[in-house]
């Protein structure tokens, strides 16, 4: 009896002795902490150097004195800008754009000076409130176009206390790390990457906490290591 040949089955195994290629590894998703930090409306970045001048840490604090004098005067202006914005937000729900940009400029100036004094860059900070694309330290806060809730000038500083407390601890830790970085730069001309990252994170936490406390952003700062 002749059998009717059926449709041959499609081979499922490898042909010709070839091995089945391994499936591609799953695409790694960025951790939630990075997403939360990257999405926050405040940006503070400082670019590390490949190599640092060996003896600059000995004189940076002295060279920064002119900046500190200017920053004292700018801080007085920022105090009145924040005071006026308090009334503006309570009555109009808007942070006046000119005042906002001025306060951001003062923070930006202070960030550059901190980066210089904390040995993170050897480049002398420019005397300007504006961002300098060529300088390795950058600071920016997105303007709250949607407005600011009227209750924030009353309570934002209170809600920010837990975050600012943690940020203060990180800043003290950063100062200790900068002390040790002084010796690594002196002997090796390097600021170790891990130590640099901790100091950068401490400055970011401090900036985020202050920005929220002074109702410059309406999003609570994330408790993330970034």
Q: Give the whole-angstrom CA distance, residue 24 versus residue 22.
A: 6
What's the chain's length in residues?
A: 226
* Per-residue model confidence as pLDDT tens digits over 107-143: 999 999 999 999 999 999 999 999 999 999 999 999 9
pLDDT tens sequence across 150-202: 999 999 999 999 999 999 999 999 999 999 999 999 999 999 999 999 999 99
| Residue 115: CB atoms within 10 Å | 25
84/92 Cα distance (integer angstroms): 12
Mean pLDDT of 205-224: 97
* Angstrom distance (rounded) from CA 226 to CA 223: 9
Going by their DSSP bridges, the two strands 137-141 and 42-46 should be labelled as antiparallel
Predicted local distance difference test score (pLDDT) of residue 37: 77
Domain ranges of the chain: 48-213
Q: Based on the number of CB atoms within 10 Å of its own CB, is 43 exposed (0-12), middle (13-18) or buried (19 or more)?
A: middle
Give residue-wise pLDDT tens across range 63-120.
999 999 999 999 999 999 999 999 999 999 999 999 999 999 999 999 999 999 999 9
| Each residue's pLDDT tens digit, 1-18 | 444 444 444 444 444 444
Tell if the pTM clears 0.85, that is, is over it.
no
């Amino acid at each position: 009896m002749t059998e009717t040949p059926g449709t041959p089955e499609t081979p499922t195994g490898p042909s010709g002795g070839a091995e089945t290629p391994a499936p591609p590894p799953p695409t790694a998703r960025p951790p939630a902490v990075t997403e939360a930090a990257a999405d926050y409306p405040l940006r503070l970045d400082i670019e590390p150097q490949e190599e640092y001048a060996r003896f600059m840490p000995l004189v940076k604090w002295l060279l920064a004195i002119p900046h500190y004098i200017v920053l004292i005067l700018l801080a007085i202006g920022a105090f009145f800008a924040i005071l006026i914005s308090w009334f503006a937000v309570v009555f109009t729900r808007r942070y006046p754009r000119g005042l906002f940009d001025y306060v951001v400029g003062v923070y930006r100036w202070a960030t550059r000076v901190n980066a210089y004094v904390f040995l993170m860059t050897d480049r002398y900070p420019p005397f300007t409130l504006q961002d300098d694309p060529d300088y390795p330290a950058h600071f920016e806060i997105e303007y709250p176009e949607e407005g600011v809730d009227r209750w924030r000038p009353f309570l934002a500083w209170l809600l920010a206390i837990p975050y600012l407390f943690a940020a203060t601890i990180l800043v003290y830790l950063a100062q200790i790390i900068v002390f040790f970085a002084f010796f690594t730069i002196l002997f090796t001309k390097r600021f170790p990457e891990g130590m640099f990252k901790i100091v950068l994170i401490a400055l970011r936490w401090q900036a985020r906490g202050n920005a929220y406390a002074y109702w410059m952003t309406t999003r609570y700062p994330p408790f993330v290591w970034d």
